[in-house]
Amino acid sequence: MKKIEIKGVDEYIYEGLCDNGLRVFIWPSDKVKSTFVTLNVKYGSIHTHFKVNGKEKIVPNGTAHFLEHIKFNEKDGVAHDYFQSLGADTNAFTTFDYTSYMVWATKNIDLCLNHLLDFVQTPFFNKEMIEKEKGIIVQEYKMGRDKAYTVAGFEFLNCLYKSFPVKNLITGNEEEINSINIENVKDVFDNFYVPENMFLCVTGNVNPEEIMQIVKKNQSGKKLNKYISEIIFPKEQEKVSKEKMVSVGNVSIPLCKYGIKISRDIFKEYDSREVRLYLRLFASMLFSNTSDFKNDIINSNLANSFGCSIMDDTVFYSMVFSFDSLHPDEVIKKIKNELKNIKLDEKDFKRKIKSRIANYILEFEEIENVNYLIQDYIITDDKIIDNVRDLYEKVNINGLKKIIKRIDFSNSTYYVMNPKA
């Protein structure tokens, strides 16, 4: 097992590998009482089109999430019941990129770990459970329809992306949910719920060697498929999909989004973490609470709330402005103007780095946080990033200026959700 030193924070993450290809990451801490275990499958809502042995397959939107729901069914009951009998808690979630099965426990870690691996890796599907689950998931989808921010988020993604599947709902819509069948679910399970396409994260009060032994023993007795699939993504155009979209929803003040779509190709020679850090620093320097821009917008009542964030959607970056405003056109005019006359201050840059270092130290405290951090490293970079602190030391204001020069800020889209009449 590899012991990876996380530089500058006095922490270690252990990395192990099972013979069948399952990767295991462990962060031990004697300061906590509980342990958080996640088994993650690198299969999410955007992976609906794939090729196996030369044969192309397409499953309905929402299949990853549907499988996550029904995966808890077992031959002798449901996984929740078993975990509860051990005094543990369990849940799962599906993102664009992956599906995560989680267990929280303070004791019986070995039993929990074995059962998590067993219930996720063992196929057990029938038509009845699929029909039963449709009613529940349709209600989950409808709950989302009542949430303005969820609806706006996906409608906005449809403005940014023409083809790339992040524009589709993770649950699928009602029709898509109802179209999912047992073959779709089995197809996904057989091809993606395989050890080489999974990774286990254990964070908490554990001994890394013991955990690795338990996992290896569990995996050695199983006959599991090899990973032979190839994900197919449609080619996404450089340009935003729609320049403007107006919608209506459960809001009292128009909910607005303005987005700039940024191709990854323009940063080819850069490490993606460096690009993300620079973009986030840029957004923070120009548009966060420490900026004149945001203070002016809020104090002059042009917007009631205002935020700017950077999204990394696998194929593109995007800079997204979100605000509630009765005067969206004016706000957008000001954003455009700010991006035409960019002023970057070195003192500001250095202060933001300093505060980020404090945040980074604090990340290694809660078992959930560290677990999600590891998940992010593996999903985004396929490795543990041990030199984040070095990156903070390396970046500088000139580097930021060079990055920003490459961006075409005119590749933008504008979305408004107006109140219902």
- CA 351 to centroid of chain Cα atoms: 28
Give every strand in the sheet of 55-58, ordered side by side: 55-58, 49-52, 229-231
Nearer to other proteins, 314 or 418 (CB): 418
Taking a C-beta distance cutoff of 8 angstroms, is the pair 120, 41 a contact? yes
What's the half-sphere exposure (Cβ side, CA atoms, 13 Å) at 8?
17
Determine phi and psi for 278, rounding to 5 degrees: -60, -45
Candidate ranges 145-153, 179-187, 192-200, 379-387; the one touching other proteins (CB under 8 A): 145-153
Examine residue 337 and tell whether it contacts other proteins (CB under 8 A): no
Taking a C-beta distance cutoff of 8 angstroms, is the pair 225, 192 a contact? no
User: Rounded to whole angstroms, how far apart are CA atoms 28 and 238?
Assistant: 43
Nearer to other proteins, 10 or 269 (CB): 10
- Extract the tokens encoding 177: 């949910």
Q: Which positions from 7 through 36 interact with other proteins, judged by CB under 8 A?
A: 31-34
Nearest approach, Cβ of 421 to other proteins (angstroms)? Answer: 10
Nearer to other proteins, 137 or 170 (CB): 137
- CA 35 to centroid of chain Cα atoms: 22
Candidate residues 119, 294, 413, 414; the one interacting with other proteins per rule CB under 8 A? 294
Examine residue 128 and tell whether it contacts other proteins (CB under 8 A): no
- Extract the tokens encoding 70: 């029904």
Examine residue 65 and tell whether it contacts other proteins (CB under 8 A): no
Candidate residues 2, 333, 336, 354; the one interacting with other proteins per rule CB under 8 A? 354
Angle of CA points 53, 54, 59, to nearest 5°: 85
Nearest approach, Cβ of 157 to other proteins (angstroms)? Answer: 16
Nearest approach, Cβ of 367 to other proteins (angstroms)? Answer: 7
- Extract the tokens encoding 233: 């993504």
Nearest approach, Cβ of 412 to other proteins (angstroms)? Answer: 25
**Number of residues engaging other proteins in binding (CB under 8 A):** 66
**β-sheet bridge partners, residue 311:** 318
Nearest approach, Cβ of 204 to other proteins (angstroms)? Answer: 8
Examine residue 74 and tell whether it contacts other proteins (CB under 8 A): no
Examine residue 173 and tell whether it contacts other proteins (CB under 8 A): yes
Nearest approach, Cβ of 232 to other proteins (angstroms)? Answer: 27
User: Largest Cα–Cα distance of the chain, in whole Å?
Assistant: 66
Examine residue 286 and tell whether it contacts other proteins (CB under 8 A): no
Candidate ranges 99-107, 153-161, 225-233, 335-343; the one touching other proteins (CB under 8 A): 99-107
Tell me the three state secondary structure of residue 389: helix
Nearer to other proteins, 213 or 305 (CB): 305
